Amino acid sequence: MSDSVPDAAAPPGLIQPLTAGILAAVVGFSSSFAIVLQGLRGVGATADQAASGLFVLCLLQGALAVWLGLRLRQPVSLAWSTPGAALLIGAGIPQGGFGVAVTAFLIAGALVVLAGLWRPLARAVAAIPLPLAGAMLAGVLLDLCLAPVRAVEQVPALALPVVAAWLAGWCLARRYAVLIAVVVALAVIALAADLPPGAAAPVLPVPVAVRPVPDLLPALGIALPLFVVTMASQNVPGLAVLRSNGYVPRTGLVFVSTGLASMGAAIFGGHGLNLAAITAALCAGPEAGEDRARRYISSVTCGAAYLVIALGAGVAAGVVAAAPPVLIEAVAGLALLGSLGGALVTALAAEEHRTAAVVTFVTTASGLSIFGIGAAFWGMLAGGLLMAAERVSAS
């Protein structure tokens, strides 16, 4: 009789990681696909190019998550760079159009590959003062997180149900608050907006190749902040999640593979892939089962789910294109409120660096653009210069 107990317990042991993986994919996609689409449109992508970028990002992150999970036997969860997409929303269309942004995506991906091959670069990124990295991210997110307020003012009949749904979800089922808001937003859009013909049809998106425009100055103005925010806000926390759950990830392999995948996605309009941070906890933590050795099944399942979800990228892009932009921004802003709060805490926690962090924050939030280089770069530079001056004066 005692020998039969493990057999009876085996199916639930598999169900937990499978369920966690599917949940991570659904939550990860639904809570941030609008941010990705809005970010790509913000730097000049057409609706077809944005749909292509979302489609290829889903495919590559799904396939790569499956491969890394099976090879490393670790729950290595991947995601697109949500903070990076938020940065793109405020970056503005560069002179030269979306092709310049694609060049920036290629450079950012190449820098991630370099960080995997050359450890000093990875250490240099890790050495960026956290208050400045947090302040830059907070400055990027601020305008987007104000969108729900603007939407309530401009389109109250559409925005109030979405905000109310998010509030109810936050109070009753916090993990699913954004998912609930997205579902209500889609229902509101379907009822109120003029959807294009066939927008609800399950048509496979078509990858659209975009020719890079090698205008390096504005491209670097997008690429460097994109690289920094991706490493500081996604890859570093993603590694921390894995390590806190007892895993020792092969950092070089992860960075090189995600960087190469990002460069591949860039050719078709995708802005970048990296380690997941929030959904990584679902796949690497106790929610994926008690047996740590089997939790990799959750990240493999998540990757497989993204391969299926990719088929809906065209529909998602069509619905978003038909909606009032401020409503989509409002959904994205609700999804990023937690990220804004965390970034502000990181920025202001150290009193000795608080002024430098505030300078970084206000400069980034200002939307400043000089020589075609966006505000995130200038914010980090301004805060870094003040922090260096403070250290010199104190010595």
- Domain limits, the chain: 15-394
Instruction: Quickly list H helices, the chain.
Output: 4-30, 33-42, 47-72, 82-91, 98-117, 119-126, 130-145, 147-154, 156-172, 177-192, 216-230, 236-244, 251-266, 278-284, 296-309, 313-322, 325-335, 337-348, 354-365, 375-394
pLDDT confidence of residue 126: 66
How many other β-carbons are positioned within 10 Å of the β-carbon of residue 360? Answer: 32
What is the rounded distance in angstroms from the CA atom of residue 115 to the CA atom of residue 381?
Answer: 21
Q: How far is CA 166 from each of CA 29, 144, 148, 191, 335, rounded to the nearest angstrom?
A: 17, 16, 11, 19, 9
Amino acid at 209: A
pLDDT confidence of residue 372: 57
Whose CA is closest to 113, among 18, 212, 238, 255? 255
Return the bridge partners of 79, or none. 274
What is the rounded distance in angstroms from the CA atom of residue 56 to the CA atom of residue 48?
Answer: 12
Amino acid at 332: A
pLDDT confidence of residue 56: 95
Q: Look at the chain and count its residues.
A: 395
* Tens-digit pLDDT string for the chain (395 aa): 333 334 444 445 677 788 778 877 877 787 778 889 889 998 999 988 998 999 999 999 999 999 999 999 999 989 998 888 988 987 888 888 999 999 999 999 999 999 999 888 777 766 777 788 778 778 877 887 888 998 899 888 888 999 999 999 899 887 778 778 878 887 887 777 655 554 444 456 788 999 999 988 889 989 998 998 888 778 877 887 787 678 888 888 999 999 999 999 999 999 999 998 767 777 887 777 778 888 899 899 999 989 988 887 777 776 666 677 777 778 777 877 877 887 788 888 888 888 999 999 999 888 776 765 667 778 888 888 998 888 888 77
pLDDT confidence of residue 209: 94
DSSP 353: G
Whose CA is closest to 365, among 136, 131, 93, 150? 136
What is the rounded distance in angstroms from the CA atom of residue 230 to the CA atom of residue 120?
Answer: 17
What is the rounded distance in angstroms from the CA atom of residue 333 to the CA atom of residue 144?
Answer: 5
What are the φ/ψ torsions at residue 370 (nearest 5 degrees)? -130, 130
pLDDT confidence of residue 6: 40
pLDDT confidence of residue 394: 76
What is the rounded distance in angstroms from the CA atom of residue 57 to the CA atom of residue 208?
Answer: 13
What is the rounded distance in angstroms from the CA atom of residue 122 to the CA atom of residue 125?
Answer: 5
Residue 20 structure tokens: 């966690």
What is the rounded distance in angstroms from the CA atom of residue 343 to the CA atom of residue 341?
Answer: 5
Amino acid at 206: V
What is the rounded distance in angstroms from the CA atom of residue 58 to the CA atom of residue 271?
Answer: 12
Question: 98 and 49 in contact (C-beta within 8 Å)?
Answer: yes
pLDDT confidence of residue 203: 58
Contacts 24+ apart (CB under 8 A), 45-49: 45/98, 45/101, 45/210, 45/269, 46/98, 47/317, 47/318, 47/321, 48/206, 48/208, 49/98, 49/208, 49/210, 49/269
Name the pTM for this structure. Answer: 0.72
pLDDT confidence of residue 13: 67
Whose CA is closest to 228, among 120, 81, 71? 81
Question: 234 and 275 in contact (C-beta within 8 Å)?
Answer: yes
Q: How far, in whole angstroms, is CA 374 from its chain's centroid?
A: 19
Residue 31 structure tokens: 């809570």
DSSP 128-167: S-HHHHHHHHHHHHHHHHTHHHHHHHH-HHHHHHHHHHHH
What is the rounded distance in angstroms from the CA atom of residue 42 to the CA atom of residue 94?
Answer: 10
pLDDT confidence of residue 201: 47
